[in-house]
Chain A
Amino acid sequence: MPMPLSLKESFQWPFSLCADILISALHDEAAAAANIDAQEKIRDEIGVRKTRAVIDMRRVRAISREAREYYANERTASIQRATALLVGSKLTKVIANFFMGLNKPVSPTRMFTNPDEALAWLATFPDE
């Protein structure tokens, strides 16, 4: 698959992600499930086994514990090959750190402030 050059184009790219869904007032387990549902659909449409996802969480305000746990569970891991978390403010960094440190997602997860670096990192994971 050809590598897109900008984040905007990445949304049409095989490996998602729909940042809009992430931004809800209270990011709870239901929202997390919905997000993973969406990823699963995209994965099926494109025909890959697992997605390499850029999660744009720069506008996230809060995330519930249950949502964090959901993102770290087996279902998510079975869909995501690798996950790049796109953060901006200190607040979003706090959220990302909590997720990575306390919930310990199974699939490789890393935090980025620069979308290009995020994509570059994801590209190092082979197609599946």
Chain B
Amino acid sequence: MTHVADRYDELLSLIHALASGDLAFRLRVPKAGEPGVHDDLEAVFLGLNMLAEELEATTVRRDAYQTALDELQRTQAQLVQSAKLAALGELAAGVGHEMNQPLQVICNHIEELPHLVEERDHEEILRSADEMQDAVGRASEVIRQLRTFARDAVRSEREHIDVGAMVHDSLVLFREDLRVRGIEVILDLADDLPPIHGNPIEVQQVITNLVLNARDAVTGRENATITLRTSVEPGAVLIDIQDTGPGVLPELRKQIFNPFFTSKSEENGTGLGLTISEQIMRRHGGTLTLRNNEPPGAHFTLRFPAEAP
């Protein structure tokens, strides 16, 4: 009577095959009743085959999940990239607006210069020179702001950040745009704000994101106003960005920080701005919160831990 013990070699070959990744290996199951084959033998051999089959199926499934996961991660990376490009587009538009005005002034004054010289209108020539000087100053300011964005955000080190100055700077690239949209900006910046420790590009990104959201919320409305306020609490520095827009519906308050949630149309919002902003705040040991709509409009608060003195 052949028992399992007589067929250890075959068992071992199955085990070796599975271990080496050959999950398709199967034993030949002898039939009980074949000359001297014990009941146990066929049961054990079949059982092992069935286990191998399960193992194979599980592995296939796992591989499929892994592929799907890789795909998802790739897509996610693409979407983040796309969000960055969208932000870049906004930036480019902002720069375009800002540069138009100074260039126009300079251009026209230069056109005029020959005439002024011929007319010997010295007073006017000097005045033109002043205005061109101012225009160049404005243009330089815009360029300076651009340099901040040109720095490599990932490799950037953490440093002391003057929050008030940063809030101020965030607006430089959008001043024209906001003005043309008829949006009033109220700055309520505290004196003697302690510096915070952080990645200036990321912090800039968060503030800019909130300002742009506020801008989009109030554009076209009566009394379009964005208020930026800095304040200090024990151990924390706060930036409040408030707008007179429609605010956030109560049922959506939790969802707005979710990836891909957006109330803007396809071209305008990728829905990643708040998600990324919240992540950045967390990395800085701070928080991004939406306060209640009192008075009506969205009111976001950025809370940074203050530097230890």
Contact = CB atoms under 8 A, between A and B. Distances in A.
Do A and B have CB atoms closer than 8 angstroms in the complex?
yes
Interface of A: 61-62, 64-65, 89-91, 93-95, 98, 102
Contacts of B50: 65, 94-95, 98
Given A89-B32, A91-B46, A94-B47, A65 B54 contact: yes
Contacts, number: 34
A90 B57 contact: no
A90 B39 contact: yes
Q: What is the size category of the interface that chain B forms with chain A?
A: 10 to 19
B54 A91 contact: no
Interface string B13-35: 00000000000000001011000
A91 B40 CA distance: 8
B53 interface: yes
B177 interface: no
Find the residue from A62, A89, A90, A95 having the highest chain B CB count within 10 A: A90
A91 B42 contact: yes
26 contacts: A61-B29, A62-B29, A62-B46, A62-B49, A65-B50, A65-B54, A89-B32, A89-B39, A89-B43, A90-B39, A90-B40, A90-B42, A91-B29, A91-B32, A91-B39, A91-B42, A91-B43, A93-B43, A94-B43, A94-B46, A94-B50, A95-B46, A95-B50, A98-B47, A98-B50, A102-B54
Contact of B42 (A64, A89, A98): A89
A61 B49 CA distance: 12
